[in-house]
Structure 1
């Protein structure tokens, strides 16, 4: 497989890894700390030499590859909710890419988090709140808000809302990278088998 296809599939797995966590948190109110950290760290790597640098935790990315196989493969167990989130993220990414002002603000706010990490862990509540704030203030304002389904008891909690927004920011970061690597929505229809094959190979590496 070509390096670009491999890297593009990696970025797409990054989107789905974050989306999977959004879905889980919305339903169960909690998250896997390592998976959360992996997704949030991907937001901070803004000038990577390779896509692998963005996704340093290869174990965490396995969930994303598995979801590629489940969502784009021949199996019948497609998750409509995941598809809805994915479509929403890709639509917001297009709007973000067209807004130089939003991209500039995004970069500035991410730099603030870099400075904050000299005092806090990336999964600290204050840091997550800042990631969430970036999503709310910049990304969410670009288009229709994503409607998250889940347990109302959990969804009304501030911490749950902040984790979800932070993870949506992570999904957006991967969507930006996927597009930069040549990803297009039509590939998800016309190149599904190639993407699935690449994801399956990536799972064995």
Structure 2
């Protein structure tokens, strides 16, 4: 297991979760990490885990949030952690459903085809990904409950972004699991993950 690859995938889950929190609480989100997270869903065949997010800079927000959640008690956000754990739990349920995995892959391939006409974060592409989440992962008996301002949650464009981001979180959770990720790491490998995330975050500063 590469702790670096494991941490990058974990940062992908934290990034998607933080963006869900932003849009649910503020009605807006940071565009650059949003684009990177959506692109990570559409990148079916990537050369490396870093390539999934368009390079290390694409996962910068996720690394920042991961460092805050694991290393700074005063900056921890319980909602973000709830979304992270919810995504990890859903991914485990999804892993047992080959039929649903196949349906998700077909749906993602359709969205990839749409990006030949539209940008990855175009409302039509985001809506397609959101509908795919609704038709598959939302059918499980466990659902991720998103907390926020009702006026933001009731906005259909915001709702689409939230569902598309949860799908992005699942994509990262699949990668994390493939790279040896386990829930117990949050307890037993916390310090190692934090150090790796801090090192990777330092590398993103050299890229900017």
TM superposition score category, shorter chain reference: over 0.9
Q: Give the equivalent residue in structure 2 for 1:201.
A: 199
Q: How does 1:1-205 map to 2 (within 5 A)?
A: 4-73=2-71, 75-205=73-203
Give SS of 2:120's match.
Answer: coil
Alignment check: 8 A CA contact 1:22 1:168 kept: yes
**Aligned partners of 1:149, 1:127: CA distance in 2, in Å?**
24
Deviation at 1:112, TM superposition (A): 0.4
User: How many residues are treated as equivalent by the alignment?
Assistant: 203
The Cα RMSD (Å) is: 1.3
TM-score relative to the length of structure 2 = 0.93
* Cα shift readout 1:166-188 (whole Å, capped 9, x = no counterpart): 00000110001000110000011
Give SS of 2:136's match.
Answer: helix
Greater shift in the superposed pair: 70-79 or 9-18: 70-79
**Aligned partners of 2:26, 2:125: CA distance in 1, in Å?**
21
**Aligned partners of 1:128, 1:157: CA distance in 2, in Å?**
14
**Aligned partners of 2:160, 2:55: CA distance in 1, in Å?**
22
Give SS of 2:59's match.
Answer: helix
* Cα shift readout 1:77-108 (whole Å, capped 9, x = no counterpart): 32111111111111100001110001100110
Unaligned runs of 5+ in 1: none
**Aligned partners of 1:143, 1:122: CA distance in 2, in Å?**
30
Unaligned runs of 5+ in 2: 204-208
* Cα shift readout 1:32-58 (whole Å, capped 9, x = no counterpart): 222211100001122222101101143
